[in-house]
Structure 1
Amino acid sequence: MVIRLNRPEVRNAIDLTMVEALHEVCAELEAHPQVAILTGTGGTFAAGADIGQLRERRRDDALAGINSKIFSRILDLPMPVIGLIDGYALGGGAELAFACDFRIGTPATKIGNPEPGLGILAAAGAAWRLRELVGEPRAKEILLAGRTLQADEARSIGLLNDVVDPEELEAAGEALADRIASFAPLAVRLTKSAFHAPREAHPLIDNVAQAVLFETDEKFARMDAFLARREEKRREKKQQEKREAGHE
């Protein structure tokens, strides 16, 4: 599934309508798990939240967690989400990118959280998720000093998994999605769940997940196929050795 943020006239600023649409998409992906690609339009991922709407929000809106709830829901989707980050990913747009499992950028990518300059903080995930992604010192540069990362630096610290030319961005996302989709879906889902589980849940959660997978038909089918391919390669190697020996 490809999800496109489509408000190019405002650099895909995230408003309530977009949040509601993302909730609908999440409901579909929860009911029918699959790898998703999240991208923008017009050479921008998302330049932030809609400042016009943000200006009018008050205490109760903050406590409702309008953006943090949808970003957490995206992070918690059963299958991985691949973010294609072309151009700006600022403020809420950066936090949406941080909720993705993978992020692929272009040379034009710019990622940052300048919220304190507007008198607010990055409350939709960056204040805690960014430290997990890049470490405390770099996270503080971005969150407290308003530093905007260029593509190469974001790639060097692992915030971007890869940087490709803009015309190759969607193909790179599709190739990664296809690779993930080639694996056993339940194994991918349980791996993601175990990865995001709190430290105290390990190793129990890993053992329970593995116990489930050990009993699946797909595990036996995939391992049988692997063993059959290995045996076939051994036979081919022996035949090749015999042919070579016959020519000596």
Structure 2
Amino acid sequence: MNADAFALTGELDAPAKVRQAARTGRLTGQTSGLAPGFVQANLAILPGDLAADFLRFCQRNPKPCPLIGMSEPGEPMLPELGADLDIRTDLPRYRVWRDGELADEVEDIRDLWREDLTAFLIGCSFSFEEALLADGVPVRHVAEGRNVPMYRTSIPTAPAGPFHGPLVVSMRPLEAPDAIRAIQITSRLPAVHGAPVHLGDPSLIGIRDVGRPDYGDAVRIEPDELPVFWACGVTPQAVIAAAKPPFAITHAPGCMLVTDLKNTRLSVL
């Protein structure tokens, strides 16, 4: 966990507190472990002429892109996800993309906001980690105070309009009994990626070096552990890089929107 989030963990025990800390610049790093019990969300913001295609992309790829909210064009407030929630200020850090290239990372996008922009909020694995920990399944990056490791894979997403590209996955190393239990737990949570997409040999899904993630931080994997891979909400960033839209905004990996929705509402069983 980054230093500012670690220092604020005990204090930021409610969604509004996390959003306010991001809005005022007190929180600029990852949100894992903050406001326990509440849904966190990945973010993608697209211009109006691409919004319908991106919505179809999410519908065709529900594992990496389970949609939990969508704004009206030009409307930065999402009251259905949180009181006084402003998508322009309430994430710790944003990424700005131009023609598929990462152009900047900023802590506030008010000066970039336009009347044609639509925000898409996508379920995040930080929500299912709470269910794993509650059942005694260890989560290595949480224990090590790191961001979750994430990787681009050779698995293609289902295209929609200009949007196409590789599936991104997050990884948690687990002993076999814990891996089985993790599958059982997360399969009940499709709104936050559901069950894993792969267990074991990373090379089978195009990951050459599991010790060098494309996003996040590397974590220790013990000899008796399996790397377990879940579809990840960073997938839209790989898709934006492949599709090269003129302009887009996403969250910085690990820097989520913390909503007022309860994690307990996500289970299908």
Normalising by structure 2, we get a TM-score of 0.25
Normalising by structure 1, we get a TM-score of 0.26
More strand by share: 2
More helix by share: 1
More RCO (CA 8 Å, sep 6+): 2
